[in-house]
Amino acid sequence: MMSLTLFHNYVVLHPATSLVWLGLFSLLVGSFLNVVIYRLPLMIQTEWKTECCELLQQPISNPLTPSLNLCFPRSHCPACQRLIPAWHNIPLISYVLLRGRCHACTQRISWHYPFVELLCLGLSLFAGYYLGFSLQLLFVLLFIWLLICLSFIDLTHQILPDGLTLGLLWLGLIANTATLFTPLPNAVLAAASAYLGLWLFIKLFYLCTKKVGMGHGDFKLFAAFGAWFGGSALLPILTTASILATLVGLVYLGIQRKGRDTPIPFGPFLCIAGCGHLFFTVLK
C-alpha cells in the first residue's frame, strides 16, 4: 500500500518524467509484441500439425522447433539464424544504427519491427497523456497492445488466435466489473449479440453466395469490442471497419492486379475501428 502511495505521489509531482518512463516501457513492450507476432503463429501451426498427425495416426514429418515459445530460444535472425546480441536488439535505436540490416548476414530486417515499436510508443503515450496514470489507463494499454498483435498476425497469416481474441474479451468484461467503459450487464449482452449477429450474417451470406465471408476469429474479436464498449459501439465499429476494408481492398486489388476472390483479412480493419472508437468516442 505504501509503495502504491509513493508511486501515485511521484506521478502527480513528475507527470512529464512519468510519461518518459511510460514511453521507455512501451518500447520494450513493442519489442515483445514483435516476438508474439512472429512466434505465436509458428506455435499454432506446430500445434495444428501435431493434432492432425495424431488424428491420422501418422508420424510428424518436418516438425517446427518443439521448444519454440514466446520466451525461448533467444531472438535470432530469421535469415542466418545467428543469435542477436542484446546491443543489437534495442527498440528503434538498433534498427537505425544497423541501417535496417542484420549485422551478421546483412539481410534486410522487415520494416514492421520498428513500425510496431513506434506504433506501440505513440499510442501508449497518447493514452497516458490523455488519461493520466489510473486503472483505466492500465486496461487501455492492454487493449492497445493486444490490438497491435492481432492486426499484424491477421495481416501476415490471416488468423486471429483465440488466446488473444478471447483474452481481449475477458479483459473487457473484467474492466467493466468496475464500469470503466460501460455497465457490466451491457457488456455481457453486447458481447453475446455481437458474436451471434455477425455469425448469423455470415451464415446467410454463405447460403446466398456459397462464399465464406470471414472466419470465426473475426466474430470473437467483434464480440470483444462489445465486452469493452457495450452495444452502442457495435454498429459504428462494424460500419467503420467495413468502409475501410472496402476502400483499402479495392486499392490493393487494383495495384496488385488480383481478382475479386483474393482473401483480404478483416481483423486489422476491426482493430483500427475499435481503437478509433476508444480514442474518439469513449475517451473524448
Task: Say whether pLDDT at 70 is over 70.
Answer: yes
Amino acid 7: pLDDT: 55
Q: Domain boundary residue among 133, 150, 180?
A: 133
Q: Are residues 181 and 110 in the same domain?
A: no
Domain range holding 272?
134-284
Average pLDDT, the chain: 87
Amino acid 99: pLDDT: 84
Q: Domain boundary residue among 88, 113, 133?
A: 133
Q: Are residues 183 and 110 in the same domain?
A: no
pLDDT band at 201 (very low <50, low <70, confident <90, very high): confident
Cα 41 from Cα 215, distance rounded (Å): 16
Q: Domain boundary residue among 101, 133, 165?
A: 133
Q: Are residues 202 and 127 in the same domain?
A: no
Higher-scoring residue by pLDDT: 51, 145: 145
Q: What is the mean pLDDT of residues 216-227?
A: 95
Task: Say whether pLDDT at 8 is over 80.
Answer: no
The torsion defined by the Cα of 20, 21, 23 and 27, in degrees rounded to 10, comes to: 140
Task: Say whether pLDDT at 68 is over 80.
Answer: no
Q: Are residues 185 and 274 in the same domain?
A: yes
Q: Are residues 87 and 7 in the same domain?
A: yes
Q: Are residues 33 and 80 in the same domain?
A: yes
Q: What is the mean pLDDT of residues 145-153?
A: 97
Where helices occur in the chain by DSSP H, the ranges are 2-13, 15-55, 93-97, 112-131, 135-157, 162-175, 184-209, 216-229, 234-256, 267-277
Task: Say whether pLDDT at 120 is over 90.
Answer: yes
CA distances from 150 to 27, 103, 141, 155 (A): 18, 29, 14, 8
Task: Say whether pLDDT at 164 is over 70.
Answer: yes
**What type of residue is 154?**
D
Q: What is the mean pLDDT of residues 187-209?
A: 89
Q: What cell was used for 128?
A: 497516458
Task: Say whether pLDDT at 2 is over 60.
Answer: no
Q: What is the mean pLDDT of residues 161-183?
A: 96
pLDDT band at 6 (very low <50, low <70, confident <90, very high): low
Map grid coordinates 543469435 to a residue.
83
**Read out DSSP for 188-251?**
HHHHHHHHHHHHHHHHHHHHHHS-----HHHHHHHHHHHHHH-GGGHHHHHHHHHHHHHHHHHH
Higher-scoring residue by pLDDT: 73, 243: 243
Q: Could you give the number of structural domains in the chain? A: 2
Cα 70 from Cα 75, distance rounded (Å): 10
Q: Are residues 47 and 91 in the same domain?
A: yes
Q: Are residues 92 and 15 in the same domain?
A: yes
Q: What is the mean pLDDT of residues 21-41?
A: 94
Task: Say whether pLDDT at 274 is over 60.
Answer: yes
Task: Say whether pLDDT at 238 is over 80.
Answer: yes
Task: Say whether pLDDT at 15 is over 60.
Answer: yes
Tell me: the pLDDT tens digits for 252-264? Answer: 888 877 777 788 8
- Are residues 255 and 214 in contact, defined by beta-carbon separation less than 8 angstroms? no
Task: Say whether pLDDT at 161 is over 90.
Answer: yes
Least confident residue range of 44-48, 61-65, 122-126: 61-65
Task: Say whether pLDDT at 151 is over 90.
Answer: yes
Q: Are residues 149 and 282 in the same domain?
A: yes
